Structure 1
Amino acid sequence: MTIHFDPESQVQWLDTDEFSTEFLRLLGAAQEGGSMVSECYLAASRIDSNDRGNSWYREWIRIADLNHERANAAFERGHVLTAQSNWLRAINYYQASTFALDAADKKRQDALSIMRACTRRYIAHLTPAGEVVEIPWLEGHVLEGYFLPSSAASGRAPVVVCMGDPGHWKEEYLFKVARYARERGMSLLAVDLLGAGVGAEFAEVVGRRDLETSVGCVRDYLTTRDDVDEHRIAILGDGAGSSFVARGVALDNRFAAVVCDGGLWDMHERAFLTNRLWRDGGGSAGIGGGWPGPRFHCPVLITVGGQGWLESSIVTDLFERLKSYHPDISLKIFESSETAAAQGHYDNPTLANEFIFDWLADRLDQVPA
């Protein structure tokens, strides 16, 4: 087992970044209730570096099954809180077990099916109970979400919608952000683009050029609920691929606030392609990398890790260009000195979530109920 610990970086396998990043995500989830540090290290210690793909699945499914069994046993004895804690960890471990498997792999589909079953049992025993919702989007492909009503409001409550990048599983939000919303009197709608299945059919959707239309459909659905304050709906676009959320919000003036990449990744790719074309003689140097879409109609927050995929200097430059289009936009860069500096804030999601949800609460409080 070749695991290296760098106190200024992370625990990692020396020969692969992908598995190291996923392991970091699992460790970071511990402080949010999505894993236990000791279980993560136990699973990692059993992974065979010569057969990492198979042994990764085997060890994480093993830990997931143990938590699932503990949850069911605790529930049978009437210990609902203990059952919920174990279901929540099982959800994360089942998802982790599929990390290296192809979408059509039966082991992956079976693990995700059990993950969904754990999720349904978990949200059904929250107080107040959550519910599974379906949101019309494409013909033959509905969005599935988990709606967790606010525990602080008896009438219409503000809502935070959480959507990740195109391949992001919504189940992660149950331990990653749900408590931050509910503790601040907000309802939460966790939704992904993967539909109601186990994701094998998503290949037909991920390549679409109109993913941003899903954002408006989610907003339309929320207006049909009698427990939602439609004037105080915010959205959190999570992950580097969440520019589709930024595009969707820019096309829809009904959101009260948004936390996302603000279109930075779109701008970065556009600038790269423009410079490439100009260097090859096929473009114009005057095109630049500006925001290609409509302006936002609400306050925007962008948070990035200083050690993420884009260097801080590039992020700052793109942000200044974006700010010229939309003055009511803020940028928070988490540096290594305070943690939460990794891509996706995986090294300390708590710090990032506290900042994000305080910002959301301040913005939604400014909108009359």
Structure 2
Amino acid sequence: MRSPGSFIVTLLAALVGAASSQNITNATWLDTGDTLQLSADPTFHFSLLELLGMGVYRGSDAADVLGAADAILPSDFTSFNSTFAELAARKQVQAFAAKNKVNARDTFFQAASYWRQADFFLHGNWSDPLIDLYWENQTACFNAANAALPVPGVRVTIPTSSNFSAIGIFYAPDHTTSAKPTLLVGNGYDGSQEDNYHQVCVAALERGWNCMTYEGPGQPTVRREQNIGFIADWEKVVTPVVDYLTTRTDVDMNRLALSGISMGGYLAARAAAAFEPRIKALVVNPGIVSVQAGYFTGFPDELLALFDSGNQTAFDAVINALLLNSSTPSGTRWGIEQGLWSFHTESPFEFFTLTGAMNLTGLYDKITIPTWTANSTRDTSFPNQSVMFATQLQNITNVALVTYDGPEGYHCQVGASTSTNRDVFEWLEDVFE
């Protein structure tokens, strides 16, 4: 019989091999050769492509992103973080120096995006002061840009019946008080509501819609300011936010849609399915049937068996050793570090256990509103789950399953947000006509 130590060494070697083949955790993405690679590191490529795609909605400048891509060293988190911190600081200075309101607004938005990128790979060390400093910088820059909008977004803090407050930003397309269709947008595992402004809200405002972003436990600002990790029962977040919307005369509650992005696809479906009848249409990108199944995709059988055995000490030892191994790819390392931080646990076993509660078992028949979901063929975070999700919906006459492939086929269609927004708003306008 092998000793526990030798077992861990053997399993670690298998894990590193699996990770090197991009088959472990939700944090690596398949590249099929039809998209220009912005980094030899596939995780960095994905982040850079996402940021580049935000430029169409004033979230970045192409030259900035391409310059950063050239400077960042693959697999080097410090290189990624420091490159964007330097870029963000430079943009912030330019924004303060701008005399024209539009110039300042656009440059502050860019600086905010770059501060968020500077923070992105920091979460392996919870005591790093840059985690809070960079977020304070991004918030200050975003707020300065927001204040210069023709109709500034309104930040709100929303009490709940639980041990946290939800936070949100409400954006209106104009100053009128007439009731308008409204899209409520929530992100997932790592994205912020400030990201959502550039990904979705600008498109909504251009079409005459209100757009409200929000965050709950585990998400960037709530995690920092309230020190609470993700919860599975997301209706505790959404219902108080919907309560807030009912207080506004410019919201048409008969035309209220809820959108969930990335892991937010589970969060939104859970809230809309079982607990929030005031939502009239659901948009999930992607559809998710089980968060844990997505994270376990590609795990070696030995690791799954170790997790199923309930041996927390041994499982944590293997995962922690994986994080310290220099051969571990960026996606694997980031995926686990981000999970520990956002679920607020130092135990990998506990993190993966908490994801087990995030599934829609027993709830599909409660989803009765029109539902749109994206099926991205390159999505290795939750592969094929959108198809499974749509198949489970039996009590709806309007279920749209839209497939994205080729360069548009990454997780959440990063880099192709205009295509997604076109499809979503065409569908929503048909639903609410």
* 1:242 alignment counterpart: 265
Q: State which of 421, 424, 430 in structure 2 corresponds to 1:353.
A: 421
Judge which range, 133-142 or 112-121, deviates more: 133-142
* 1:72 alignment counterpart: 96
- 8 Å CA contact 1:143, 1:196 repeated in 2: no
Q: State which of 60, 65, 76 in structure 2 corresponds to 1:40.
A: 65
* 2:405 alignment counterpart: 335
Q: Which amino acid aligns with 1:301?
A: W
Q: Which amino acid aligns with 2:35?
A: S
Q: State which of 84, 90, 98 in structure 2 corresponds to 1:60.
A: 84
- What SS class does the counterpart of residue 180 from structure 1 fall into? helix
Q: Which amino acid aligns with 2:380?
A: W
What value does the CA root-mean-square deviation take over the aligned residues? 3.0
Cα deviation 1:124-154 (Å, max 9, x = unaligned): 2212222111112254421111111122744
- For 1:6 and 1:243, how far apart are their aligned partners in 2? 27
Q: Which amino acid aligns with 1:335?
A: D
* 2:380 alignment counterpart: 309
Judge which range, 21-30 or 322-331, deviates more: 322-331
Shift in CA distance, 290/201, structure 1 to aligned 2, threshold 3 Å: closer
* 2:132 alignment counterpart: 109
Aligned residue pairs: how many? 339
* 1:165 alignment counterpart: 188
Task: Give me the identity figure in percent.
Answer: 22
Quote how far apart the aligned CAs of 1:181 are.
0.9
- What SS class does the counterpart of residue 216 from structure 2 fall into? coil
* 2:300 alignment counterpart: none
Q: By percentage of residues, which structure has more strand?
A: 1
Shift in CA distance, 347/188, structure 1 to aligned 2, threshold 3 Å: same
Cα deviation 1:181-230 (Å, max 9, x = unaligned): 11211111011125794733666331x23223211121111111222222
Shift in CA distance, 41/167, structure 1 to aligned 2, threshold 3 Å: closer
* 2:23 alignment counterpart: none
1:273-288 aligned within 5 A: none
- 8 Å CA contact 1:88, 1:119 repeated in 2: yes
- 8 Å CA contact 2:171, 2:211 repeated in 1: yes
* 1:96 alignment counterpart: 117
1:220-231 aligned within 5 A: 220-231=243-254
- For 1:341 and 1:268, how far apart are their aligned partners in 2? 22
Q: State which of 35, 53, 56 in structure 2 corresponds to 1:9.
A: 35
* 1:286 alignment counterpart: none
Q: Which amino acid aligns with 1:191?
A: Y
- For 2:32 and 2:64, how far apart are their aligned partners in 1? 20
Cα deviation 1:293-329 (Å, max 9, x = unaligned): 1522321100131211278766435422x23243321
- 8 Å CA contact 1:134, 1:143 repeated in 2: yes
Q: Which amino acid aligns with 2:416?
A: N
Quote how far apart the aligned CAs of 1:94 are.
0.7
Aligned: 1:85 with 2:106 = yes
- 8 Å CA contact 2:58, 2:106 repeated in 1: yes
Shift in CA distance, 113/358, structure 1 to aligned 2, threshold 3 Å: same
Cα deviation 1:314-345 (Å, max 9, x = unaligned): 6435422x232433211001121xx4211110
Shift in CA distance, 185/119, structure 1 to aligned 2, threshold 3 Å: same
Quote how far apart the aligned CAs of 1:122 are.
1.7
Q: Which amino acid aligns with 2:55?
A: A
* 1:144 alignment counterpart: 167
- For 2:85 and 2:222, how far apart are their aligned partners in 1? 16
Q: State which of 316, 320, 323 in structure 1 corresponds to 2:393.
A: 323
- TM-score, L = length of structure 2: 0.71
* 1:292 alignment counterpart: 362
- For 2:283 and 2:224, how far apart are their aligned partners in 1? 29
Cα deviation 1:68-89 (Å, max 9, x = unaligned): 1222211xx2x11111111111
- For 2:59 and 2:146, how far apart are their aligned partners in 1? 14
* 1:178 alignment counterpart: 201
- What SS class does the counterpart of residue 269 from structure 2 fall into? helix
- For 2:81 and 2:382, how far apart are their aligned partners in 1? 33
- For 1:203 and 1:340, how far apart are their aligned partners in 2? 36
Q: Which has the higher contact order (CA 8 A, sep 6+)?
A: 2
Shift in CA distance, 142/188, structure 1 to aligned 2, threshold 3 Å: same
- For 2:395 and 2:288, how far apart are their aligned partners in 1? 13
Q: State which of 186, 191, 199 in structure 1 corresponds to 2:223.
A: 199
- 8 Å CA contact 2:266, 2:288 repeated in 1: yes
Q: Which amino acid aligns with 2:399?
A: I
Quote how far apart the aligned CAs of 1:63 are.
1.0
- 8 Å CA contact 1:267, 1:318 repeated in 2: no
- TM-score, L = length of structure 1: 0.82
- For 2:161 and 2:229, how far apart are their aligned partners in 1? 9
* 1:284 alignment counterpart: none
- What SS class does the counterpart of residue 190 from structure 2 fall into? coil
Q: Which amino acid aligns with 1:105?
A: D
